[in-house]
């Protein structure tokens, strides 16, 4: 392995936006660790990318399992000695119908599970991998958020999301956006950038076939933020290269 090649870890990458992000980053010469809860599904997802000549390797990581956090940190330390890109892509939506207001119907259990995966796991994994990210010349952290995490748009009558209030999911992404802002500030004197990405409404298991965007375009925001130049933004919330309101 060339020491000059960048190394990326993408969680929840055995399908959908995560898998396409892996493909696009690997096509740019990045060594991609394709994270999956089920290593069998991860291997199956990685196989066609490898057949294309892309440097992709499936790794087991259930973001809700802190033992997996420790194991992946140990693997990266042993085999690469650093991590250049972390894409916190894994997430869940347990509220139900995206076009409704679930505030009065979603269970406390679903709220807690949503926050465990979409917020607490992201914070824990990022903190675990931060020593390896610090060893990179210019690390990039990308947190997969959603426009549904915009408080400004939720509070603005007539906005595209005003009537789409899936409470557990939305508030977990609000919390994730706050983590982006706080972590970027904490790392402002380093070469590490931290940004939130809204991929768009994409044809995935979560987005359904009703979504207007394809997966290739849905991965572009993550890839852009993962490969920012030295003078790139940090502490922001973006779709493609447009800034979104918090």
169 is catalytic: yes
CATH superfamily, with its number, for domain 7-93+123-146+176-243? NAD(P)-binding Rossmann-like Domain (3.40.50.720)
H/E element holding 133? helix 121-134
Is the pLDDT score of 39 beyond 70?
A: yes
Phi, psi dihedral angles at 92 (to 5 degrees): -130, 155
| Mean pLDDT, rounded, of the chain | 93
183-196 per-position pLDDT tens digit: 999 999 999 999 99
Q: Largest Cα–Cα distance of the chain, in whole Å?
A: 54
Is the pLDDT score of 165 beyond 50?
A: yes
Active-site residue, selected from the candidate residues 80, 167, 169, 179: 169
CB atoms within 10 A of CB 44: 14
> What local confidence, expressed as pLDDT, does residue 204 receive?
55
| Strand order from edge to edge, sheet including 56-60 | 56-60, 31-36, 7-10, 85-88, 140-144, 193-197, 237-239, 242-243
Is the pLDDT score of 203 beyond 70?
A: no
Of the ranges 73-87, 92-106, 151-165, which one carries the lowest mean pLDDT score? 92-106
- The span from the CA of 35 to the CA of 60, in Å, is 6
Nearest by Cα to 126 from 72, 206, 49: 72
Confidence of residue 2 (pLDDT cuts 50, 70, 90): very low
Q: What residue ranges do the domains of the chain occupy?
A: 7-93+123-146+176-243
Is the pLDDT score of 66 beyond 50?
A: yes
> What local confidence, expressed as pLDDT, does residue 166 receive?
95
- The span from the CA of 21 to the CA of 162, in Å, is 29
């Amino acid at each position: 392995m060339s020491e000059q090649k960048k190394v990326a870890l993408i969680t929840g990458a055995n399908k959908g936006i995560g898998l396409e992000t892996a493909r696009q980053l690997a096509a740019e010469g990045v060594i991609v660790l394709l994270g999956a809860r089920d290593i069998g599904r991860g291997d199956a997802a990685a196989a066609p990318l490898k057949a294309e000549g892309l440097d992709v390797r499936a790794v087991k990581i259930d973001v809700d399992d802190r033992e997996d956090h420790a194991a992946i940190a140990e693997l990266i330390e042993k085999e690469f000695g650093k991590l250049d890109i972390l894409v916190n892509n894994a997430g869940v939506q347990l509220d139900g119908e995206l076009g409704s207001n679930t505030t009065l119907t979603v269970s406390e259990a679903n709220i807690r599970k949503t926050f465990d995966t979409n917020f607490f796991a992201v914070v824990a994994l990022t903190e675990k991998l931060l020593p390896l990210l610090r060893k990179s010349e210019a690390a990039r952290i990308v947190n997969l958020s959603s426009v549904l995490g915009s408080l400004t748009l939720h509070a603005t009558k007539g906005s595209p999301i005003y009537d789409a209030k899936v409470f557990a999911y939305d508030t977990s992404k609000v919390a994730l956006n706050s983590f982006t802002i706080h972590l970027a500030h904490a790392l402002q004197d380093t070469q590490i950038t931290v940004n939130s990405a809204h991929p768009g409404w994409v044809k995935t298991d979560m987005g359904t076939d009703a979504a207007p965007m394809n997966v290739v375009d849905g991965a572009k925001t993550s890839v852009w933020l993962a490969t920012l130049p030295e003078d790139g933004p940090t502490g922001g919330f973006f779709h493609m290269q447009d800034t979104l309101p918090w």
